A and B are shown apart, each in its own frame.
Chain A
Amino acid sequence: MDQNDINRLRGKTAVVGLAESGCGLASGWSAMEIMASAVHDALDDAGIKLKEVDGVFAATAFHSMAAMSLSEYLGVKPKFADGSQIGGSSFLSHILTAAMALDAGLINVAVVAYGSNQKSAGGFKTISEAMPYEAQYQPRMPVTAYALSAKRYMNEFGATREDLANVAVSARDWALLNPRAYTHQDGPLTVNDVLSARPIVDPLGKLDCCLVTDGGAAVVMTRSDKAKDTKNTPIYLLGAAMEHHHRMISEMPDLVQTSAIESGKRAFSMSGYKPNDMSTIQLYDAFTINTLLFLEDLGFCKKGEAKELVKNNNIGPAGNLKVNTNGGGLSCVHPGMYGLFVTLEALRQLRNASGDDVGQRLNGGWIDNAKLSVAHGNGGVLSSQVTNIWGVSDTL
Chain B
Amino acid sequence: MAENLKGTVGPEQQFKNFLSEGKFMIQRCKSLNKFFFHPRVAFPGSGERDLEWVEASGNGEVYSSSCNRRLPEKGGDFNLSLITLEEGPRMMARVEGIDPDKVEIGQKVKARISSLNGEPAVIFDIV
How many residues of A are in contact with the other chain, CB < 8 A? 26
* Cα(A255)–Cα(B92), bound, Å: 13
Among B78, B82, B101, B117, the residue within 8 A (CB) of A136 is: B117
Among B63, B80, B91, B116, the residue within 8 A (CB) of A144 is: B80
Q: What 0/1 pattern do residues 279 to 297 of A give for CB contact below 8 A with B? A: 0000000000000000000
> Does the CB pair B69–A199 fall under 8 Å?
yes
B 62-79 contacts with A by CB, 8 A: 63-69, 78
> Does the CB pair A148–B94 fall under 8 Å?
no
On chain B, the residues within 8 Å of A137 by CB distance are 80, 92-94, 116, 121
On chain B, the residues within 8 Å of A203 by CB distance are 66
On chain B, the residues within 8 Å of A155 by CB distance are 64, 105
Determine how close the nearest CB of chain A comes to the CB of B38; give it in whole angstroms. Answer: 4
* Cα(A101)–Cα(B93), bound, Å: 44
> Does the CB pair B66–A147 fall under 8 Å?
yes
Instruction: Write the chain A residue with the least CB distance to B123.
Output: A137
A 102-144 contacts with B by CB, 8 A: 132-134, 136-140, 144
Identify whether the interface residues of B are mostly helix, strand, loop, or mixed: strand
> Does the CB pair A201–B67 fall under 8 Å?
yes
Among A132, A139, A251, the residue within 8 A (CB) of B68 is: A139
Q: Given A133-B91, A137-B93, A202-B101 in contact, is the A144-B66 Cβ separation under 8 Å?
A: yes
* Cα(A251)–Cα(B38), bound, Å: 8
Determine how close the nearest CB of chain B comes to the CB of A82; give it in whole angstroms. Answer: 27
Say yes or no for A152: interface residue by CB 8 A criterion. Answer: yes
Determine how close the nearest CB of chain A comes to the CB of B27; give it in whole angstroms. Answer: 12
Instruction: Write the chain A residue with the least CB distance to B67.
Output: A202
* Cα(A200)–Cα(B77), bound, Å: 10
Instruction: Write the chain A residue with the least CB distance to B70.
Output: A140
Say yes or no for A250: interface residue by CB 8 A criterion. Answer: yes
* Cα(A139)–Cα(B94), bound, Å: 10
Say yes or no for A249: interface residue by CB 8 A criterion. Answer: yes
Which of A151, A203, A248 counts the most B-chain CB atoms under 10 A from its CB? A151
> Does the CB pair A255–B82 fall under 8 Å?
yes
> Does the CB pair A201–B64 fall under 8 Å?
no
Give residues in A with beta carbon < 8 Å to B: 132-134, 136-140, 144, 147-149, 151-152, 155, 198-203, 248-251, 255
Give residues in B with beta carbon < 8 Å to A: 12, 37-38, 63-69, 78, 80-82, 90-94, 101, 105, 116-117, 119, 121
| Top 10 A-B residue pairs of the complex, sorted by shortest distance between their CB atoms | A202-B67, A250-B92, A147-B66, A152-B64, A148-B64, A133-B38, A155-B105, A134-B92, A151-B64, A201-B66
